[in-house]
Amino acid sequence: MADIKGYIMPDEFYYSEDHSWARVDGDKVTVGMTDFFQKEAGDIVFVDLPEEEEEVSRGEVCGKIQSRKWIGKLVAPVSGEIIEINEDLEEDTSLINTDPYGKGWILVIEASALADDLGKLMHGAKVVEFIEGEIKRAEEEKAKA
């Protein structure tokens, strides 16, 4: 598990530039939001989840996540059919803040083009570079405010 300047990013996961993570188990991909996302967003107060059996394409917005600060988009990191959503989030959205890689997962997709989609996501050293860039960008934005 990588700790990138205080942001936890599990090494075995794949990541999108939209700050979603993907944990692969066969052709099933569990999706959630990264530690960086939840810390930048602040307290999550609402999650608009897609429906089970809905087809999604990689890069498509399939839900919304709202914090006290702003509304963010849940973007599908892989294409396929949504086979499960985390119904616990309907009762306790703070799970995304308290356990983003565990109980705060958002949905599971049965991937239709897994090999192609994974090649378009970040993994390993690319994740470190990306998060360091995002930290710098966030610090610059805060300095302007």
Q: Is residue 1 in some structural domain? A: no
pLDDT digits (tens, 9 = 90+) for 22-59: 999 999 999 999 999 999 999 999 999 999 999 999 99
Q: Is the pTM of this model over 0.85?
A: yes
Calculate ∠ Cα 139-141-145, nearest 5°: 115
102: tokens are 């565990």
What burial letters (b/e) apply to 26-43, b meaning 16+ CB within 10 Å? eeebbbbbbbbbbebbee
Other C-beta atoms lying within 10 Å of the C-beta of residue 1: 9
Domain coverage including residue 44: 14-136
Number of domains composing the chain: 1
What is the biggest distance separating any 2 CA atoms in the chain, rounded to whole angstroms?
Answer: 45
CATH number of the domain where residue 64 is located: 2.40.50.100
Contact 97, 38 (CB under 8 A): yes
Mean pLDDT of 67-82: 94
